[in-house]
Amino acid sequence: MSIEVKNVRKSFGKFVALDDVSLDFPTGQLIALLGPSGCGKTTLLRIIAGLEYPDEGRILFDGYDASDRDVRERQVGFVFQHYALFRHMTVFENVAFGLRVKSKALRPPESEIRKRVEALLDLVQLGWLAHHYPAQLSGGQRQRIALARALAVEPRVLLLDEPFGALDAKVRKELRRWLRHLHDELHITSIFVTHDQDEALEVADRIVLMNKGHIEQVGSAQDVYERPATAFAYSFLGAVNRFAGHIDGSHLRVGDGAVRVADANARDGEEVVAFARPHELDILTGNSSEGIPAYVGRVLLSGATARVELTGKIGTNGHAESHHFEVEMTRQRLSDLDLQPGQPVRLTSDRLKVFPVARDG
Amino acid sequence: MAAVRAHRVLPGFGLSLGFTLAYMSLIVLVPLSAVFILTSTMSVQAFLDAVASPRVVASYRLTFGASLMAALINVVFGLLLAWALVRYRFPGKRLVDALVDLPFALPTAVAGISLTALYAKNGWLGQYLEPVGIKVAFTPLGVLVALVFIGLPFVVRTVQPVLEDLDTEIEEAAASLGADRWQTVRRVVLPTLLPALLTGFALAFARAVGEYGSVIFIAGNLPMISEITPLIIITKLEQYDYVGATAVASVMLVASFILLLIINGLQSWSDRRSARGL
Amino acid sequence: MATAAVGLRAGAARFEANTATRDPVWVKGLVLFLGLAFFSLFLLLPLIAVFVEAFRRGWGVYIAALVEPDAVSAIKLTLLTAAIAVPLNLVFGIAVAWAITKFDFRGKQMLITFIDLPFSVSPVVAGLIYVLVFGAQGWFGPWLGEHGIKVIFAVPGIVLATVFVTFPFVARELIPLMQAQGRDEEEAALVLGASGWQMFRKVTLPNIKWALLYGVILCNARAMGEFGAVSVVSGHIRGLTNTMPLHVEILYNEYQFAAAFAVASLLATLALVTLAIKTYVEWKAAPSTPPAEAP
């Protein structure tokens, strides 16, 4: 089922959770709503489910307006952050719940319920736990039971709120892969909320990056990571170096230093921030006037690459502020440079991405 | 948990436990044991005569029957009151919440004379009830009224915190699975509250069985009709029948101990059921 | 966190705003009506009746009932009894909570069960047991008689019976709280060089002060209001062994209703003050309540 979100606004008192959000979720995809806490991603998920109602705007399921439908009628599967398993019911009864509460006319016969619950428990590979109670399960098992319970009512869309948030690191990694695998089998439109970029990048077909009630960028994992559309997208995803300064002709001027920028994207003299990933920065030694001054800190070796930590003073002389940078380079390049701790160097890049401050989210 | 620490890090173990055991033995255990020691000196026939005479049996029937009824009434209305306090906004809520504990704080004799004044023939409520044939004061119904009063806080106060801690996610989950409001309450919320309801019921029942002060004013204390078991003990004492009084007391004590064990069991079930982290 | 205090957390709005937890309006109306009708009938009305009956014959009769010598001596005895019973059970409460929550030993669970014993025993039985031990026909009766010491039908018996019925109050407030707080802070204090007394005064006491106060006021209310147990051991000697609740009974049985309710109104006021302090303590001790949310 496809879902359209049209011009949705929602505030809680003075706090604006969603500010005119519009989105399309095509059928069959696995989509991540990614953003820091308080960005509105969970609110959006709950509005789609019908657990909250928007102040303005509409929700369309397959083109039909579902805005006024009650959560009970929307046929969505919702997996809660803390699973919300019914603790007085066995695993089997938990999964069967959605079928048992159907009205007489729609309720499948007991034998059919049994068959469906068993099939679902097999799907999540926990058939052997059918007669256990939730308290007897591990976190990862509860998560999978919660998923089986949501799938039992054959939902048209599956919504997951921070599905891996309460699990420890190892289980989380396993479950991610498992969820991706499950989705490839079922092909049900699925949306999950996460604040963990790795999770979003690894699992989702598409990522919706949100911040402060707005949508910053929508795209594939590769799009969002390699071509961030906004300053926020740049700083939220992956390791990044940030330079604040202004445009001076063809250069970005940061304190005493300056770097040539190819695509200025800003007016002359305008205040800007510029970003570069660690591997997009280079270190210059010797008396070059090009680049931003910094001092070499520690050098960390890992695998084929090396990371150099540097400290720089950015700002006017009186109000100099200490900044940390990170440069990633090959071992070969490192040994060519022959860096010493405390050595003054200059940082440069030919792939700086510049955003005017006014548009800095 | 049963592991005994060889070295105790914090000070005061000997002092605190020693004082505790000495004080508890002196105040509670030794005097209580007197009941059983004295009872054990009785012949079986004398014991049975004391605890199984028709008048005493009638008092058991009234005491346990009225206590059971009162506890049941408190389960129903205590749940409603707890539900209202946790789930709804209404004016005067803070006052209601504070006053629910009144039966804990109000001396039982005060409650007793006040209820009697309300339900007596010319009282505020009695003057309307008697003409339609409902006699409350000086009847077993009066006993019931007093026992409802003193048991009222127990169910409210055991259910209220569980209801407050109940995650909204649980009800949201039921709704997202298509359950209507009544199905959600009946199949999900009430079963979750069940241990707390039973605990509150048992506490109210146990309190009611032993209650004396609030009951004797309104009961009328007619032998075979509205005489409660604690009053039997007092009456026997006043007739210097110490042995008879003690025999009846031993029956009541055994009942209290059984109730105490049941309550402890219910409470630990309730704690396990409401343990967070699911 | 499991605190003993049941606070009224400002959360009802959360349930009423949520589509999955909201009840239909007619259900809310019905529940409120039934719950509040029950509350009014069984709690509010008896409370109001005490004060109305007390002032039925005017201020003159009211004051006269309170300054009459037997009433004054009953008030004095009640205060004396509470002044002995409450500190005793306070010290016991701290000692038993300390032993149970800070150490592991065998028989701990049984000890916890024993603490609640006095709550499950009928007040009448509580009085009876002291008659069996100290009464004229009791274990120590003859010996006490020879030495001219009176316990039963005298003040010591009243104090003992009161101590018994108020025995668990402080302990049962402290134990769950101190259990939840664990031992870390005390151990840290010792590691930092505090003496046992310093550790208790500077670390333990500040952590438990609200629960302590809570237990003490409930203990005090019961100590002043106890009827059944005291009634058995008192002997109802006017001016000597009558506490306030017993005095209320005597006046009532003599059909001096206005005077009975006048003394009762003092006890009811005590109950209201107790509830007020209790509500305040709960509000103070509930760290989870954000101050901004108070309506």
pLDDT digits (tens, 9 = 90+) for A255-306: 778 888 877 677 788 888 888 888 888 888 877 778 888 889 888 888 888 8
- What is the per-residue pLDDT across A204-221, written as a single tens digit (0 to 9) for each? 999 999 999 999 999 998
Q: Which of A49, A50, A135 sits opposite B278 (nearest CB)?
A: A135
Q: Would you say residue C237 has pLDDT above 50?
A: yes
In the structure encoding, which two tokens stand for residue A120, read together? 């679902």
What is the predicted pLDDT for the residue at A352? 85
**Which of B75-89, B138-152, C9-23, C233-247 has the least mean pLDDT?**
C9-23
Say whether pLDDT at C1 is over 60.
no
C-alpha A52, offset from chain centre: 22
Shortest distance, CA C18 to any CA of chain B (angstroms): 8
C-beta separation of B220 from B137 below 8 A = yes
> Is some CB atom of chain B closer than 8 A to the CB atom of A97?
yes
Who among B179, B194, B273 is closest to A101 (CB)? B179
Main-chain phi, psi angles of A170, to 5 degrees: -70, -45
Supply the pLDDT for residue C293: 31
Please name each of the domains of chain C with its CATH number: 4-288 (1.10.3720.10)
Q: Is A53 on the interface with C (CB under 8 A)?
A: yes
- Residue in B169, B175, B180 nearest the CB of A82: B169
Which residue on chain A is closest to B269 by alpha carbon?
A88
Q: Where residue B129 falls among pLDDT bands split at 50, 70, 90?
A: very high
Tell which of A48, A75, A82, A95 to mutate to test the B interface (max B CBs under 10 Å): A82
Question: What's the whole-number mean pLDDT along residues C122-137?
Answer: 92
Query: How many angstroms away from the CA of A6 is the closest CA of chain B?
Result: 22
Report ipTM for this prediction: 0.90
* Chain C partners within 8 Å of A12 (Cβ): none
Contacts of C18 in chain A (CB under 8 A): 51
Average pLDDT of A180-187? Answer: 90
Strand partners, A291: A258
Q: What is the mean pLDDT of chain B?
A: 90
Domain boundaries, position B67: 43-277
> Which of chain A's residues have a Cβ under 8 Å away from the Cβ of B180?
72, 101
Whole-angstrom distance, CA of residue B272 vs CA of residue A239? 45
Partner residue facing B180 (CB), from A72, A87, A98: A72
Residue A52 to residue C20, Cβ atoms within 8 A: no
Query: Helix H segments across A4-57?
Result: 41-49
pLDDT tops 80 at residue B76: yes
Mutate to test the interface with B, among C120, C220, C236, C265 (most CBs of B within 10 A): C120
- pLDDT at residue C289, as a whole number: 41
Q: Which chain C residue lies closest to A47 (C-alpha atoms)?
A: C19
| Confidence class for position C8, pLDDT limits 50, 70, 90 | very low
- CB within 8 Å: A51 and B194: no
The model's pLDDT over A72-95, given as tens digits with 9 standing for 90+, comes to 888 899 999 889 999 889 999 999
Say whether B170 and A86 touch across the interface (CB within 8 A): yes
- Mean pLDDT is lowest, of A88-92, A146-150, A270-274, C1-5, for C1-5
User: 40-79 in B: which are within 8 Å (CB) of A?
Assistant: none
A78·B180 Cβ contact <8 A: no
Q: Which residue of A has its CA nearest to C22?
A: A51
Among C6, C151, C218, the strongest candidate for a mutation testing the B interface, having the largest count of B CBs within 10 A, is C6
B chain contacts of residue A87, beta-carbon cutoff 8 Å: 192, 273, 278
H or E stretch covering B15: helix B13-24
- For residue B249, give the CATH number of its domain: 1.10.3720.10
Distance CA(B50)–CA(B41), nearest Å, equals 13
Q: What is the pLDDT of residues C33-77, one digit of tens each?
A: 999 999 999 999 999 999 999 999 999 999 999 999 999 999 999
**Chain B 156-175, residues with CB within 8 Å of chain A CB atoms:** 167, 169-170, 172-175
Rg, Å, chain C Cα set = 23
Cβ contacts of C20 on chain A, cutoff 8 Å = 51, 71
- Look at residue B141 and tell me if it is in a domain: yes
B neighbours by CB contacts (3+ pairs under 8 Å): A, C
CB of A152 less than 8 A from some CB of B: yes
Mean pLDDT along residues C194-207: 89
Q: What's the 3-state SS for chain A?
A: CCEEEEEEEEEECCEEEEEEEEEEECCCCEEEEECCCCCCHHHHHHHHHCCCCCCEEEEEECCEECCCCCHHHCCEEEECCCCCCCCCCCHHHHHHHHHHCCCCCCCCCHHHHHHHHHHHHHHCCCHHHCCCCHHHCCHHHHHHHHHHHHHHCCCCEEEEECCCCCCCHHHHHHHHHHHHHHHHHHCCCEEEEECCHHHHHHHCCEEEEEECCEEEEEECHHHHHHCCCCHHHHHHCCCCEEEEEEEECCEEEECCEEEECCCCCCCCCCEEEEEECHHHCEEECCCCCCEEEEEEEEEEEECCEEEEEEEEEECCHHHCEEEEEEEEEEHHHHHHHCCCCCCEEEEECCCCEEEEHHHCC
CB < 8 Å to A150, chain B: 176-177
Q: Does A225 touch chain B (CB under 8 A)?
A: no
Report which DSSP code applies to A318.
Answer: G
Three-state SS at B176: helix
Partner A contacted by B190 (CB < 8 A): no
- A residues 78..107 contacting C (CB < 8 A): none
B5: in domain: no
Chain A residues within 8 A of C19 when measuring between CB atoms: 50-53, 70-71
Distance CA B200, CA B153 (A): 9
CB contact under 8 A, B16 and C16: no
Q: Do A53 and C18 touch (CB under 8 A)?
A: no
What letter would DSSP give residue B4? P
**CB nearest to C49's CB, from B38, B117, B229:** B117
Interface partners of chain A (CB pairs < 8 Å, 3 or more) are: B, C
Average pLDDT over chain C, rounded to an integer: 88
- Which chain A residues touch B176 with a CB distance below 8 Å? 49-51, 71-72, 76-78, 150
Q: Which of these, C96, B278, C284, C154, lies nearest to A138 by C-alpha position? A: B278
Residue A355 has pLDDT above 50, yes or no: yes
Asked if the model's pLDDT at residue B232 lies above 60, the reply is yes
Distance from CA of B176 to the nearest CA of C (A): 8
Q: Answer yes or no: is B30 within a domain.
A: no
Instruction: Please give the average per-residue pLDDT across C133-147, as a whole number.
Output: 88
Does A71 contact C18 at a Cβ distance shorter than 8 Å? no
What count of other Cβ atoms lies within 10 Å of the Cβ of residue A253? 17
Q: Which of B76-85, B156-165, C5-14, C16-25 has the lowest mean pLDDT?
A: C5-14
Type of residue at C250: I
**Which chain C residues are within 8 Å of B23, Cβ to Cβ?**
88, 92, 95
The answer to whether residue B28 sits within a structural domain is no
Report the domain count for chain B.
Answer: 1
pLDDT at A288: 74
Between residues C29 and A250, the one the model is more confident about:
C29
Cα three-residue angle A112-A116-A117, rounded to 5 degrees: 115
Grade residue B11 by pLDDT with cuts at 50, 70 and 90.
confident
Helix, strand, coil tally for chain A in percent (to 5): 30, 35, 35
In a domain, B190, yes or no: yes
Is there a contact between C260 and B112 (Cβ–Cβ < 8 Å)? no
Is the pLDDT at B275 greater than 70? The verdict is no
d(CA B23, CA C91): 10
Locate A353 and state its tokens. 């991405």
Q: Which residue of A has its CA nearest to B192?
A: A88
Nearest C-alpha in B relative to C256:
B113
Q: Which of A72, A142, A161, A162 has the most B C-beta neighbours within 10 Å, making it the best mutation to test the interface with B? A: A72
Among B61-70, B248-257, C281-290, the range scoring the smallest mean pLDDT is C281-290
Cα dihedral A256→A261→A266→A268 (10° resolution): 50
For residue C148, pLDDT over 50 is answered with yes
Q: Is the pLDDT of residue C164 over 60?
A: yes
Nearest CA in chain A to B167: A84
Which other chains touch chain C, taking contact as 3+ CB pairs less than 8 Å apart? A, B
What is the rounded radius of gyration, in angstroms, for the C-alpha atoms of chain A? 25
Which among A82, A83, A101 has CB closest to B177? A101
Q: Is residue B270 part of a domain?
A: yes
Contact flag B173-A135 (C-beta cutoff 8 Å): no
Phi/psi for B214 (5° steps) reads -75, -20
pLDDT at C287: 59
Whether B101 is in a domain gets the answer yes
Q: Is residue B61 part of a domain?
A: yes
Which of C19, C21, C22, C293 would best serve as a mutation to test chain A binding (most A beta carbons within 10 A)? C19
pLDDT at A58 over 60: yes
Contact status of B271 with chain A (Cβ, < 8 Å): no
